[in-house]
Amino acid sequence: MSKSTIQELRTGDHISWKTKRFPYMIRHHAIVVAAKDGTLFKVIHVRVDSNGNSSARSKGCSRRFFDLCCTGINESFVVSEDIIDLNEKASKQKLLRYDYALEECKDPFEVIQKAKRKLGKFDFHILNNNCEHFALWCKTGNKVSYQAELARNLLSLLLLSLLLLLISIT
């Protein structure tokens, strides 16, 4: 992974940028489809469905956890192809491009085709099926989220610490 300038981005790249809600913890991941004009890029990514489809809450998240970590409690998600201005993200060094060895990743055409086949409703789950899972799967075929793994590990440590504290008090 490397900080990236807009000029370095290529079709099929896996990129991410810091989120507004948790800029030091959570990154939003996407696949670059094409450069459009200057700093505008067509990307495919997982996002909140802005068409008013808000019937489903993310599965597996308690309401309080979802309120804290996600965009809302009654939102559904889609895989969408959007044009995004990446200038601010690149200029503030928020934009990362993930580098893979050739044998680890799909060729750009296949990456884009995999992403396009998933356009539409997305069964979002903060720990098991999020934007990082999607982008990594498109790029490498592996459905992994390092952010989710870190969150799981931190939560496990917290619970273990709490348990040890309770045991030591009794």
Phi, psi of 72 (to 5 degrees): 175, 165
Sequence ranges of the domains in the chain:
2-144
Which among 151, 115, 122, 120 is positioned nearest to 136, based on CA atoms?
115
pLDDT of 74 > 70? The answer is no
Burial zone of 6 (CB within 10 Å; 0-12 exposed, 13-18 middle, 19+ buried): middle
Contacts for 67 with CB less than 8 Å, ≥ 6 apart? 73
* Cα(71)–Cα(69) distance, integer angstroms: 7
Between 92 and 49, the higher pLDDT residue? 49
The amino acid that residue 146 corresponds to is Y
User: What's the distance, CA 89 to chain centroid?
Assistant: 15
* Cα(15)–Cα(2) distance, integer angstroms: 10
Summarised one tens digit per residue, pLDDT across range 109-136 is: 999 999 999 999 999 988 889 999 999 9
